[in-house]
Amino acid sequence: MRSVAIIGSGPAGWTAAIYAARASLNPILFEGSEPGGQLMTTTEVENFPGFIHGIQGPELMQVLREQAKRFGTEIVSAMVESLKQVEGGFELVSNGQTYRAQTVILSTGATAKRLGLESEKRLYGRGVSACATCDGFFFKGKNVIVVGGGDSAMEESSFLTRFAEKVYLVHRRDSFRASKIMQDRVKANPKIEIIWNSEVTDILGEEKVTAAVLKNIVTGETREMPIDGVFAAIGHAPNISLVQGLVDLDEKGYVVTLPGSTRTNVPGLFACGDVQDAKYRQAITAAGTGCMAALDAERFLSGH
C-alpha cells in the first residue's frame, strides 16, 4: 500500500505533491482529464507571487509539474474513476488499474458550469463554446449570446465585442452580481445589449448554432432569437463526483474541511483547493491548502 495518493493536477495537487515528495512519502498523482487544471484555460496570471511580470497559466502549471517530478512524484495521466474506503486506507481505480493508499489528497478543483441543455452538448464546438479567449476569433462579424451576471460574464462579453458584431448578455435577474467597474464597462459598450430576467432554454441548429430560445422569467414568454454562438459564464461547481456519499459536503456541494485544516470527516482523506473552497478560489490559496494537505497527511501517517 502506498502512503499518499493525490487526485488532481491543479495548483493544489502539485503543491501537495511537492511537499509530500520532499517528505519522502513517494506520492502518486493522478492528473485527470484536465491536466494542469483551470489555469490551463487562461493566459496571463498576474497575481501569483514570485513572477514580477506575471506568468502564462499553462507555463506556471508546467513548472509546478516539473518541480513535483524532480522530487520523485509518480504521475499517472488519467482520471480516477472510483474511490472507496478499505481496511487501512483507500482503494482507487484508474484506467482499469487498482491502486491502494493509506491517505488520499483530494484536489479535484472546480469546473465551469454548463447550462445543462442536451442541445448544448450536441452543438459544443459548433457555436457553443466554453472559452471566449480561444473561440472569439471564429465569431468575427457575428452575433453571440453570453449567459451570466458575474465578473466572468462581464469580461467575456467585453472581450467578445472585439470580434462579434453584437453581444447579447442574457441574465436571469434584473441586476448583476459583478463588480461595479466591470458592469459599467459592459453598460457603456454600444456593442453589448443586456437582456434581463431571461434564460436560454434551448439552442437550435443542425450542423451549427443558428438560434437560441429565450424565456423571460417574469412574463413566462419565450422567443426564438437567431444567433451564431452561445457562451456560458455562469460560475463554477466543485468536482465532487468521486466523493459523493463518502464525505460531508456543504449546501453548495463543496467538501467540508475542519476549520484550520484540510481534514474531512473521513480519517485519512484530505481536501484542498477549489473543491473545498467556495470563498477564495485563487491559485495561491489552492497551493496554500495543497501544502496544508500534504503536512496533514504526513502527520496522520506518523500517527499510524
Ligand X SMILES: Cc1cc2nc3c(=O)[nH]c(=O)nc-3n(C[C@H](O)[C@H](O)[C@H](O)COP(=O)(O)OP(=O)(O)OC[C@H]3O[C@@H](n4cnc5c(N)ncnc54)[C@H](O)[C@@H]3O)c2cc1C
DSSP, res 249: B
Which residues in 176-259 belong to E strands, given as ranges? 192-195, 198-204, 211-216, 222-226, 229-232, 236-238
Stretch that binds other proteins, among 33-41, 102-110, 232-240, 244-252 (CB under 8 A): 33-41
Instruction: Report if residue 278 touches other proteins, rule: CB under 8 A.
Output: no
Tell me whether strands 166-170 and 55-56 are parallel, antiparallel or unpaired.
unpaired
**Interface pick for other proteins out of 63, 97, 137, 179 (rule CB under 8 A):** 137
Encoded one letter per residue, x for contact with other proteins by CB under 8 A and - for no contact, window 193-222 reads --------------xx--------------
Give the separation between CA 81 and CA 57, rounded to whole angstroms.
Answer: 27
Our answer to whether residue 131 is catalytic in this structure is yes
C-alpha cell at 15: 503543491
Binding partner of 268, given other proteins, ligand X, none, CB within 5-8 angstroms per partner class: none
User: In angstroms, what is the minimal distance from the CB of 141 to ligand X?
Assistant: 25
Q: What is the dihedral of CA 100, 19, 55, 107, to 10 degrees?
A: 40
Stretch that binds other proteins, among 56-64, 166-174, 276-284, 291-299 (CB under 8 A): 56-64
User: In angstroms, what is the minimal distance from the CB of 82 to other proteins?
Assistant: 18
**CA nearest neighbour of 247 among 104, 73, 117, 57:** 104
Footprint of other proteins on 13-32 (CB under 8 A): 31
Alpha helices in the chain (DSSP H): 11-22, 57-70, 118-122, 132-135, 151-160, 180-188, 283-302
Our answer to whether residue 134 is catalytic in this structure is yes
Give the separation between CA 259 and CA 212, rounded to whole angstroms.
Answer: 44
User: In angstroms, what is the minimal distance from the CB of 163 to other proteins?
Assistant: 12
Give the separation between CA 228 and CA 201, rounded to whole angstroms.
Answer: 16
User: In angstroms, what is the minimal distance from the CB of 219 to ligand X?
Assistant: 34
Dihedrals phi, psi of 294, to nearest 5 degrees: -65, -40
Binding partner of 282, given ligand X, other proteins, none, CB within 5-8 angstroms per partner class: ligand X
Stretch that binds other proteins, among 83-91, 119-127, 250-258, 286-294 (CB under 8 A): 119-127
Task: Please pick, among 131, 174, 184, 250, the residue that the annotation labels catalytic.
Answer: 131
Instruction: Report if residue 288 touches other proteins, rule: CB under 8 A.
Output: no
- Write down the number of H helices and E strands in the chain: 7, 19
Task: Please pick, among 135, 228, 274, 296, the residue that the annotation labels catalytic.
Answer: 135
Give the separation between CA 30 and CA 32, rounded to whole angstroms.
Answer: 6
Stretch that binds other proteins, among 96-104, 121-129, 281-289, 296-304 (CB under 8 A): 121-129
User: In angstroms, what is the minimal distance from the CB of 228 to ligand X?
Assistant: 23
C-alpha cell at 268: 485519512
Dihedrals phi, psi of 11, to nearest 5 degrees: -55, -35
- Contacts with ligand X by CB under 6 A lie at 7-13, 30-35, 37-39, 41-42, 45, 47-48, 79-80, 107-110, 239, 242, 273-275, 281-284, 286
Burial 60-72 (b: 16+ CB within 10 A, else e): bbeebbebbbebe
Instruction: Report if residue 77 touches other proteins, rule: CB under 8 A.
Output: yes
Q: Which residues are catalytic?
A: 131, 134-135
**Where on the chain is the footprint of other proteins (CB under 8 A)?**
31, 33-36, 40-43, 56-58, 77-78, 95, 124-129, 131, 133-135, 137-139, 207-208, 229
